[in-house]
Each structure stands twice: as structure tokens, then as C-alpha cells.
A and B are shown apart, each in its own frame.
Chain A
Amino acid sequence: MSVKGDKIEKIISRLQQRINEGQFYEAQQQTRVVAARYTKSANWDAAIDILYNVAQSLLKAGQGGSGGDLCVLLVDTYKQAELKPDSAAKGKLLTCLRLFDSDEPTRKKFIGEMIAWSSKYGEYPAGDPELHHVAGSLYAEEHEPYDAEKHLILGTKDSAEVLARLEYEWFKEDDAHTAALYAARGVLPYLLTGNVRAANACYRLFTSALSQDNQSQLGIQDVSSNSADLRVYPSIPLLNFLGLLLLAIQRASPDLYKQLHSKYGSLLGENEAWHESLEMIAEMYFGIQKPRQSNPLMDMMSGLLGGGGGGGGSGSGGARRPAVKAPTSMPAAEGLD
């Protein structure tokens, strides 16, 4: 290792020298050529070492375009090497990722590629949770809520807190009565992913921040029974709907859901954005069949095609809307615990 390592180190410092001299394009091109040579001879460690180090130097020199290009090539090399997403392999990518400027366009591609790699060679078909968490946290810091949501929903145990804080920050820019719309952006998608714990965490963190900031105006009232407690916000009914929904989910009883839905029916009717997710939640957690407008044969076909043809990097982009098939299997699994 050390003998070979010296040679690689020399190559790397020669390329870094180019960067110091300001010859960014040359450094990038030469790195591509050298890396390709090692890739061809399946010397993955060397290729990865070179790409990883030069990409970092370029990014640190503010060369997001060429640095990003080498980062994407690094993931590509991982794929060719069929590298598993262990902590060292992921760590290299994340170190690079953190060096990007927020407005660098290749960063999004890099994130997409790394998720696709982890999805193909790792144990998580939707992408490695740690990678999602870090990418989502970066977006959250930069106030890019939609990108942050996409990743944090599939993140780690720590993600719910980051997302709740982001949604709350966002809500603070809006009127007080809209609180539930922002809280739901964390709660409902987590429920749709089958992550009840994160949905509860999100609701708890969001509402406690809200109560803390507006102690006096909200007229909060605590309601409790033998088994459950709820903080009721008389002026924000849809926030109570979410709280009650989370409690009802623990009981999985369809009539409770129907009762809840009819109480808040008119408000929910005005709130177009929740329709689709609430229908899916009703089906997943309460076994209430979603009214179908589409042709059942078409559904079956798309289910088959979606299930079988997922060979490529369908992890990023593509159809975001969960097929009805996947959620229906969930109540069975829930019976296990």
C-alpha cells in the first residue's frame, strides 16, 4: 500500500499544484485522464483516491463546476467498482458535498447520483438514510424547503427534528392561522412513508415551538383522557385535526377516522393540498378504500411495471406518488408488533 500510495500521492500533489497555479481546467482534464487509466485497470482505490482529493481541492478553490464534475465521476467510479455504501465510502461523498456552494448547479446532480448509487448497492432501495439526512439538512439550512423535505422524509432518526424546525421557520413568515399547513408538510409525508414515530416527533416539535412563541394569544387548552393527552388550539382547528389523527392512527379504527373527517369536513374540503395524502392515509392506517376513478386494469398494469422495471436509478425523480399497492400491505405488517 505504502509503495503504491506514494505514487498516487505524487500524482495527486502534482494535480493540486495545477490548481494552486490557477489552471483549473487543466487539473480537471488531467485528473479525468489519470483516473480513467486506473479505472480501466480496475485499480479502484487509486482512482477513488485521486478523484476524491482533486475534487476537494477544486471545490475549496471555489471551482464548483469542475469540482462537481469530478464528484459525479467519483460516484460513477463507485458504481463501476460496485462499492457498498459503507461509512468510509459515504463519508468521502459527504465531505465533498459539504464543500459545494449552495448555488452550484452540479450539486443537485451529485446528490441524485449518490442516492442512486446507495440505492443500487446498499440495503435501502429508496436511498441511504444517512445520505438523505445530510443532503436534506443542507437544503434546510439554505431554506430550500421542497428539496429538504424530499430528503429528510427518507432520512434518519435525526431528520424529523430538522424538518420540524424548517417548517416552523417557514411558517413564521406566514399568518398565524396557517400553522397547520406547515406542520402537515412534515406530519403527512412521514405518515405516508410508514414512519409514525417521525410524524409524531414532527408534530410535537412544531407545536411546542408554536406554544412557546405564542403562549398568551393562542388560548391553548390541555385535554386528557386515561390514555391520551392533547393540546388543543381553539383558533387553529386543522392543527387539532392533525393531533387527533395521530392519536387515531394508534387505534386503526375506520369509524374514528370517519368521525374525525366529518367534523373537519368543510375545512378539509377547502384544503385541496391534503386530499391525496389523506386518502392514502385513510387506506394505509384505517383500511378505508380510496374511491377509484381510474381503470383497475390500468392500476394493475402500472403496479406490475413499476415493481418489475425498477432496475435503473429510479430512486431520484420519477413517479413520486406512491402506488396504491404498497400502502395496502402495511396494516398486515403492523399487526406484528
Chain B
Amino acid sequence: MTEVSFAKSFLAALDSRPLKLSTDHVEDPKSYPARGAYILPKMPKPMTKRKATSIPGQERSLTVAVKSLRNPPLDIKLLSQTPNTSVLDVKTVVSQETGIPVDKMKLLHKKKPIQDSKVLKDLTTEAETSVEFSVMVMGGAAAIRSVPAQSNVAQGQSGGEVLDTKEFWDDLRGFLLQRIRDEKTAGDLTDTFQAAWKARA
């Protein structure tokens, strides 16, 4: 019997039997036994290895835009991300910038929620250079913890007070030394500045 005529008669035989199992049937993966998967024995021909296609630095880079449609308004751009940047990585950066906890954040791509383990290259074609996400914040703006006031850390003293500190004059001496490359001249100059400033005050 030829392939086609056998297939025809077999399909006809199938028609007469009741359907027992859907084509979409999946055993609950939680019931899989604790062992590795069964795979077929090795093939006589090994697959040709793929040479590393991406030399670091030559990988294409992607721009990620994260926007929110509702409160709180957000518009964050992340430049030059690698195709292997995961959704979780993006969330982590957004969290650092906005104070939205990572676990309260959902990122949508083309209006569909995406898993944390997906990476940018899963979501884009080779030709695309940007990805856009929209953010959903679970529990709304209330979920956001206040962003730590970073300005306090960076600034310290300012204005005239700075000039009263020894550090400032040491810094200045350092700069002059670096610029003039002569310890004595730099020291003299610093003292001149300092004396002049004090005299003025």
C-alpha cells in the first residue's frame, strides 16, 4: 500500500474511534519525576558547532524605552542595552530610578505582560534597535516608596563654608600641583590664594 492510501485508510479508521485525548494535552509538569529528560540516542552525525557570532562590543545594542500610561507618569530611556538584557534587569533599573519595587512592577510589551526571564532579543527582530515597554504598577502610585534623597549624599557643605575647611585648600593645592608640576610654586600659590581670601574676608 502506498503512503497516501495507507494514510487515507488509517484516517478513516481514526474517525470511527472516540476522542480520548486532546492534542493540547499536557501532564502537569509538577508531577514529573525528579530526574532528567529522556532523549533519543545520539545521531551518527554531530551538529556543526556554531562559531561565536557576537564578538563583545560588536553586538547590536538596543534602546529601551519604558513608559507608563497611568500614574505615576514615567518616561525612562535606557541606552545601549545588550540583546541579553533580561526583563528583570530592566525592572531593576527602573526600580532604582523610580522607587517602584520590582515585585510591584509589571512590564508590558505590545500590550502583553512578559515574564522576567525573557531577554530583549526574544522580543525583537534582528533589525530592530529599540524596544518599548509600558509599566503597570500594582497597587498604583501608593506602592512607590519615596526615592532616597540622593542630593544629601553628594553635596555636603556649600558656599562660603567650604572655604573654611582645610580639605578645600588641600584640594586646591593638589590641583595646582598637578597643573604646574612644581611643588614649591604650587604651595606658594595656594598660600597666596588663601591669604588673599582671608584678608578679603
Contacts and interface: CB of A to CB of B under 8 A. Distances in A.
Interface stretch (B45-53, B60-68, B71-79, B135-143): B45-53
A337 B22 contact: yes
Contacts of B26: 194-198
Task: Determine the interface band of chain B, counting residues with CB < 8 A from chain A.
Answer: 35 or more
A43 B88 CA distance: 23
A134 interface: yes
A126 B21 contact: no
A234 to B, nearest CB: 5
Task: Determine the interface band of chain A, counting residues with CB < 8 A from chain B.
Answer: 35 or more
B20 A87 contact: no
B14 interface: yes
Contacts of B33: 125-126, 310, 322-323, 326
Contacts of A2: 148
A119 B34 contact: yes
Contacts of A319: 35
Contacts of B41: 272-273
Given A150-B39, A189-B40, A87 B115 contact: yes
Contact of B3 (A143, A226, A237, A333): A237
A91 B24 contact: no
Contact of A251 (B20, B45, B48, B49): B20
A321 interface: yes
Interface in B115-148: 115-117, 119, 148
Contact of B48 (A95, A173, A318): A173
A181 interface: yes
Contacts of A266: none
Contact of A234 (B3, B35, B48): B3
A320 B36 CA distance: 6
B36 A318 contact: yes
B30 A154 contact: no
B191 interface: no
Given A232-B4, A334-B25, A125 B34 contact: yes
Given A134-B117, A189-B37, A240-B3, 4 more contacts: A95-B89, A225-B15, A227-B15, A315-B36
